[in-house]
Amino acid sequence: MVHNFMAIRTIFLRPEKGRAIPVLLAGSVIWGLFWWPLKAFDAAGIHSGFVQVFAYSLSALVLLPFVWRRLSVWRTQSGLLLLIALLGGWANASFATSLAEGSVVRVMLLFYLAPVWTIIAARIFLGEAFTRLRLFALMLALAGLFATLGGPAVFAAPLSAIDLLALSSGLAFALNNVAIRAGHGLPELIRALAVFAGCAVISLGFMLCNPQPFPALTALHVWGLVAIGLLWILPGTLATFYGVARLDAGRAAILLLTELVVGVFSAMLIGAEQLSLQEAIGGGLILSAAVLEARSESPVKEHAV
């Protein structure tokens, strides 16, 4: 096992753009199917908070020896790392919790409003200009949100706790991306460890707030928890970080949309979920907005407004 993780580390630290696209696609597929084991554990009476505490803590422990060797790098940026841990941890923990307890299709659509929050946050915190393309993407995404939440019916009742969790996960994800862009190029392994640790701590809070009793684990459950940590979360995160770091922002953002497509269609095919007409329209608008936002990240210069 040590040899395998040394191989992962070697690949991760040697940029090879030829591998970046398939690696990023593989990571997107892994995350697109993340709902599957979460739903399986939930059906077995194991709360998603417990699953995340176990799996993310295990992933963090695996990375710790590699990160500890670079103590001088991360000690000088402890404030940024804490921010990444909080934002990345909330993004992952709230996303996984909403996937486990809500409609996968709806949660995926609401989470993928992240490009909207990125546009706004980049404007506020980084001073990035609104281009016409970005403003159009923003309008499309907001229209998609309106449709996904039920159109005019959205004003008739407050949003559910799951809806709010899904929206907040996308917001935290976007803010985390802005924090990383405003930072000083922290190595991917260090950022991954920060996110894993943050998610484990926040998930512990979710677990303690849940009235569900502590699960009685069998050997099969334990092996399943180990598998989701080492064969799902760890490689999925490293693959995503690897690809994003080695591709231009626009191309990476478009490839990451594979997660949304895989998540929605797998939930319909495997989980027997339904996609309403309003959700389909909203999803199409959100997907279009995300593609336009990715296009705005390309090297082509655009006229700012």
10 Å CB burial of residue 288 (0-12, 13-18, 19+) is: middle
What confidence score (pLDDT) does residue 304 get?
Answer: 37
Q: For residues 163-173, give the mean pLDDT.
A: 92
- Summarised one tens digit per residue, pLDDT across range 73-117 is 667 777 888 999 999 999 999 999 999 999 999 999 889 887 778
Residue 74 is assigned to a structural domain of this protein: yes
Structure-block tokens of residue 170: 């996308």
Residue 20's pLDDT band (boundaries 50, 70, 90)?
Answer: confident
Residue 28 included in any domain: no
Does the pLDDT at position 10 exceed 50?
no
Helix (H/G/I), strand (E/B), else coil: 129 = coil
191 falls within a domain: yes
Evaluate whether residue 274 is within a structural domain.
yes
Two tokens at 259? 């997660």
Does residue 6 or residue 38 have the better pLDDT? 38
Domain residues for the domain of 291 are 48-296
Per-residue pLDDT for 296 more than 70?
A: no
Classify residue 1 as exposed, middle or buried by CB count within 10 Å of its CB (0-12, 13-18, 19+): exposed
pLDDT grade for 302, boundaries at 50, 70 and 90: very low
57: which DSSP letter? H
To the nearest whole percent, how much of the chain has pLDDT over 70?
86
Residue 14 is predicted with a pLDDT of 47
Q: Within a domain: residue 103?
A: yes
CB atoms within 10 A of CB 177: 22
Contact 117, 141 (CB under 8 A): no
Domain annotation covers residue 24: no
pLDDT of residue 252: 78
Residue 125 lies in a domain: yes
- pTM over 0.85? The answer is no
The percentage of the chain sitting over the pLDDT mark of 90, rounded to a whole number, equals: 34
DSSP state, residue 215: P
pLDDT digits (tens, 9 = 90+) for 135-163: 888 888 888 888 888 777 666 667 789 99
Q: Across the strands, what pairs with 198?
A: none
Whole-Å CA distances, 253 to 16, 110, 156, 239: 18, 17, 34, 14
Contacts of 235 (CB under 8 A, 6+ apart): 8, 27, 30
Question: Is pLDDT larger for residue 130 or for residue 183?
Answer: 130
Query: pLDDT for 174-230, tens place per residue?
Result: 888 878 776 666 778 888 899 999 999 999 998 888 777 777 888 999 999 999 999
Q: Is the pLDDT confidence value at 15 over 60?
A: no
Residue 300 above 70 pLDDT? no
Mean of per-residue pLDDT scores for the chain:
82
Question: Is 23 within a domain?
Answer: no
Per the structure, the count of domains in the chain is: 1
State the pLDDT at residue 224: 93
